[in-house]
């Protein structure tokens, strides 16, 4: 990857931390940015936890290789420092268009002209954001699945203005960090993965919010009947209930009702998902 050597990840949340660590584990110099010390401290804990996860779950991972990845990672709350010499900036900030707009408008003035911007947005189209970037030809979506060291797809989706050379460079970058690149040939909300996953998760939430079945019973029937390793509410806990709430809040009237139910019964009670005090299930490490 001669075109990309220095990578910046904006957002040290669940996926942001994973993207950063995977890139560092693959030999790239990585800077992780978040808006404040508290968010960055939580991100560092996620990065430290990934060292252990890789040693247990990634074939060939050693104490030396996982520690070396950590040493290739820098963290900062200074956006100018994070963007100043990046070849690729991967944005993984909360799933709200206003936050993304503010972020890209700042980045446009801070990043070098050659820098490629990529959004990890799960639901927003890159064309929703391209005009904020100041470089629509060097902007596209690069979407990862959660637990990327195991579920290693990377969906690449541009706009009509994305340079084909930039698209190909990002495809090669995804391959260079151990992902299976999935080119999405034209824009579609949800890309491939979430076009399948989000309706499934929403259907499960509708069952629980409507009082038809308890979350654990929905998960149980799905696992038993299909042989899947996880049920939808277990997936919600891994993804994080805050992410689900942000997506639902931006949807239609029914989606907003589901968001309100999720907030009242879980989020307002401090249940944000696995590793954050529990979500639909108790978290022994919360």
The residue-averaged pLDDT of 13-37 equals 97
pLDDT value of residue 180: 98
pLDDT of residue 2: 54
pLDDT of residue 164: 97
The CA radius of gyration of the chain, in Å to the nearest whole number, is 19
Environment class of 35 (CB within 10 Å of its CB; exposed 0-12, middle 13-18, buried 19+): middle
Three-state DSSP string of 245-285: HHHHHCCCHHHHHHHHHHHHHCHHHCCCECCCCECCCCCCC
Q: Is the pLDDT of residue 20 over 70?
A: yes
Q: What's the length of the chain?
A: 286
| % residues pLDDT > 70 (the chain) | 98
At a CB cut-off of 8 Å and minimum separation 6, what does 227 contact?
none
Q: State mean pLDDT over 162-166.
A: 97
Is the pLDDT confidence value at 265 over 80?
A: yes
153 neighbors 131 (Cβ within 8 angstroms): no
Token match 């070849």: residue?
A: 87
Q: Give the mean model confidence (pLDDT) for residues 248-264.
A: 94
Q: Specify burial of residue 283 (Cβ count, 10 A radius: 0-12, 13-18, 19+).
A: middle
Task: Please provide the average confidence, as pLDDT, over all residues in the chain.
Answer: 94
- The dihedrals phi and psi of 10, each to the nearest 5 degrees, come to -95, 115
CB atoms under 10 Å from CB of 48, counted, come to 12
Domains, the chain, with CATH or none: 6-184 (3.40.50.720), 192-276 (1.10.1040.10)
pLDDT digits (tens, 9 = 90+) for 129-149: 999 999 999 999 999 998 999
User: 86-132, pLDDT tens digit by residue?
Assistant: 999 999 999 889 999 999 999 999 999 999 999 999 888 999 999 99
- Do 92 and 10 meet the contact criterion of CB atoms below 8 Å apart? yes
Instruction: Report pLDDT digits (tens) over 44-72.
Output: 999 999 999 999 999 999 999 999 999 99
Closest listed residue to residue 82, CA positions, set 58, 106, 61, 66: 106
Is residue 285 pLDDT above 50, yes or no?
Answer: no
């Amino acid at each position: 990857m001669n075109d990309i050597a220095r990578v910046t990840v904006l957002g040290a949340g669940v996926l942001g931390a994973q993207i950063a660590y995977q890139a560092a584990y693959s030999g790239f110099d990585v800077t992780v940015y978040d808006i404040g010390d508290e968010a960055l401290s939580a991100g560092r804990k996620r990065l430290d936890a990934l060292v252990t996860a890789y040693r247990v779950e990634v074939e060939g991972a050693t104490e030396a290789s996982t520690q070396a990845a950590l040493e290739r990672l820098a963290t900062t709350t200074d956006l100018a420092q994070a963007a100043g010499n990046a070849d690729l900036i991967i944005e993984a900030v909360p799933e709200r268009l206003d936050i993304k707009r503010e972020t890209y408008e700042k980045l446009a003035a801070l990043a070098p002209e050659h820098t490629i911007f990529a959004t990890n947005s799960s639901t927003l189209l890159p064309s929703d954001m391209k005009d904020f970037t100041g470089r629509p030809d060097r902007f596209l979506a690069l979407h990862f699945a959660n637990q990327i060291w195991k579920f290693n797809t990377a969906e690449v989706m541009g706009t009509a203005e994305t340079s084909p050379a930039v698209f190909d460079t990002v495809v090669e970058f995804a391959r260079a960090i151990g992902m299976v690149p999935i080119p999405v040939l034209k824009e579609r909300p949800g890309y491939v993965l979430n076009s399948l996953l989000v309706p499934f998760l929403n259907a499960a939430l509708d069952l629980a919010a409507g009082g038809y079945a308890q979350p654990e019973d929905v998960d149980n029937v799905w696992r038993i009947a299909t042989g899947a390793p996880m049920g939808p509410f277990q997936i919600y806990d891994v993804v994080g209930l805050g992410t689900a709430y942000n997506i639902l809040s931006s949807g239609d009237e029914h989606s907003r009702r589901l968001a309100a139910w999720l907030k009242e019964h879980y989020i307002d009670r401090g249940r944000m998902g696995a590793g954050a005090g529990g979500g639909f299930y108790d978290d022994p490490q919360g």
